[in-house]
Amino acid sequence: MIRGRLVGKFGKDAELAMTTELFFVTVTDNGTAFTLPGEIETDREGDKVANLFYADACASYQKPHVERNHEFIRLVLPKDAHHFLPTSFDGLAQDDVALMMSLLGIEK
């Protein structure tokens, strides 16, 4: 579904590059949405475009850095507050994100 939307919005040529860039590494639980990792990790030709990793159920210690990074990002770009409009990530370039993460002390 996500790839279909990327194709619809940006075209087939951009979809592969965007999938690789956006979803190169995904850490998730092993819920039903992720039961076919081959369809998520590979393109239609079978080339690997992403890496899917599973955390064990009830093992929150396996994803603390991901969750903590999200908290740090929301300190800079708040999701919603009474005196702010919700922050959109649409205008961010990779350099913007890299600068933000370096200022927060988060390395790639």
Ramachandran quadrant class, 55 (left: phi over 0; alpha: psi -120 to 50; beta: rest): beta
* pLDDT tens digits, one per residue of 27-76: 777 667 777 888 888 887 888 888 887 777 666 666 666 667 777 777 77
User: In this predicted structure, what is the pLDDT of residue 23?
Assistant: 73
Buried b (16+ CB within 10 A) or exposed e, 3-13: beebbeeeeee
Give the C-alpha separation, 92 to 21, whole Å.
14
Average pLDDT across the chain, whole number: 76
Rounded to the nearest 10 degrees, the angle between the axes of helix 12-22 and helix 2-10 is 130
Is 60 exceeded by the pLDDT of residue 108? no
Q: What is the pTM of this model?
A: 0.44
Q: What percent of the chain has pLDDT over 90?
A: 0
Per-residue model confidence (pLDDT) at position 60: 64
| Domains in the chain: boundaries | 2-58, 63-103
Average pLDDT over residues 19-34: 73
